[in-house]
Amino acid sequence: MRIVMNDIHKAFGANKVLQGVNFTLEPGEVHALMGENGAGKSTLMNILTGLHKRDQGSITIDGKEVHFKDSKEAEAAGIAFIRQELNIWPEMTVLENLFIGKELRNSFGVLKERKMKTLAKQVFNRLDISIPLDKKAGECSVGEQQMIEISKALMLDAEVIIMDEPTSALADKEIEKLFTVMKELTASGVSLVYISHRMEEIFEICDRITVMRDGVSVATSYIKDTSFEEIVKQMVGRELEDRYPARVPKYGKTVFEVKGLSRKGVFEDISFSVKEGEILGISGLMGAGRTEIMRAIFGLDPYDSGNIVMNGESVTIKSPADAADKRIAFVTEDRKDEGLILDYSIRDNIMLPNLKSFSSYGVIQTKDEKSFVQTMVKRLKVKTESEEKSVGDLSGGNQQKVVLAKWIGKQPKVLIMDEPTRGIDVGAKREIYQLMNELTDRGMAIIMISSDLPEILGMSDRILVIHEGKISGELMREEATQEKIMTFATGGNEK
């Protein structure tokens, strides 16, 4: 199936989201769609799959003009869209999920269980995956859930599958598996649209790339003919100096220590320390226990034994409020669910941890509050007309800046960041890196969990690797390489 989208325009009210996009998808190719947040990638794909109507332009499939009224029609034509937020019913089994809304029934309305099982197994065999069909989908890993989505698409005889950030929540092994499956799909003539912010992956798996910027398709090129620098330039419209801004670390005294922290079945005997001005990177596979350790430190989860020491003194942290009082801050990996109140204004969100500082006898000092919020918005370069705008309307990068603003305003001693740049475009990423450098220059200690290996290598002064709930290795910046980290992360050093 060959799709040609020509000169697509789309506006929401006065907001012109797409202003002339050209996009061609050849049969059997993996086509990367890249661009900063807000460049219009999702809107373009929503138009292709019938969720939005185009204002102008044409879409042809194998030469025939199409107008899909909704996603059902697009699906019937063989176009499936696997969104970032997976469509999974966690309480239902894998099999029920595969056939949801499309259950096979006999003429009495009774489900044809055996037939569905056979069909499911066929698809799983084709993709060479083995997930028990009677497992609850909610108990499957994110990677497995994605495989369920892909299988669903294949059972609809999809010839085009659009994947939005499919690897953002996957462990490295699962990414490998996904790529194997993708190759198998293209070999059988299925074409894939691959939306991602991860450059390495695009160079590994894609055949062609279309870069979008501000609602326009900037360029389409063959991956083998382009380069990382070239793509970034097309994306931001200017050249980015380094991906990771340089910095000369100045270390102060050890400000934060964890001694022998354990939680049964989750993590064991975790000991480490951070100095003022240091960025400590925490690497490891998804599910190794990295986030769980930080949640325990921050008082979100309990721990069985161990000690948390700040400035040489043992401290008790039983709740995030205790941690905040001790000037520990935590930027969680899930900013939409845990970091922000999406319906509320930028001001309200920034104020959340700072209410005490800006009230006397519980009464909020609105003047001080206002100037504080304005300063933070400016300092973090949050792009918005007003701090009264709700954060839900901001792009991912700007949302993340608001999360950072609310904590940085508290001037924490230790800043824990869990996947600080996940799902954020290159420009905003760099701004966040620069901010991290600025903060450490002023003596803040940063602990950064990241699944993005280049980011870990580019930003950390020291790297801890977690494997199955234990620290399996520690590497200084100079000696660290992707291979060494992966060896520790997979427990390879034990053999």
Binding region for another protein (CB under 8 A): 13-14, 298, 300, 319-321, 323-325, 330, 332, 337-344, 348, 351-353, 355-356, 358-359, 362-364, 406
> For another protein, which is the closer residue by CB, 7 or 301?
301
> For another protein, which is the closer residue by CB, 11 or 341?
341
**CB of residue 326 vs another protein: minimum separation in angstroms?**
10
> For another protein, which is the closer residue by CB, 358 or 488?
358
**CB of residue 355 vs another protein: minimum separation in angstroms?**
4
**CB of residue 39 vs another protein: minimum separation in angstroms?**
22
Burial of 143 (0-12, 13-18, 19+ CB in 10 A): buried
> For another protein, which is the closer residue by CB, 77 or 300?
300
**CB of residue 40 vs another protein: minimum separation in angstroms?**
20
**CB of residue 214 vs another protein: minimum separation in angstroms?**
20
> For another protein, which is the closer residue by CB, 312 or 362?
362
**CB of residue 71 vs another protein: minimum separation in angstroms?**
24
> For another protein, which is the closer residue by CB, 269 or 343?
343
**CB of residue 294 vs another protein: minimum separation in angstroms?**
11
**CB of residue 449 vs another protein: minimum separation in angstroms?**
15
> For another protein, which is the closer residue by CB, 212 or 323?
323
> For another protein, which is the closer residue by CB, 219 or 342?
342
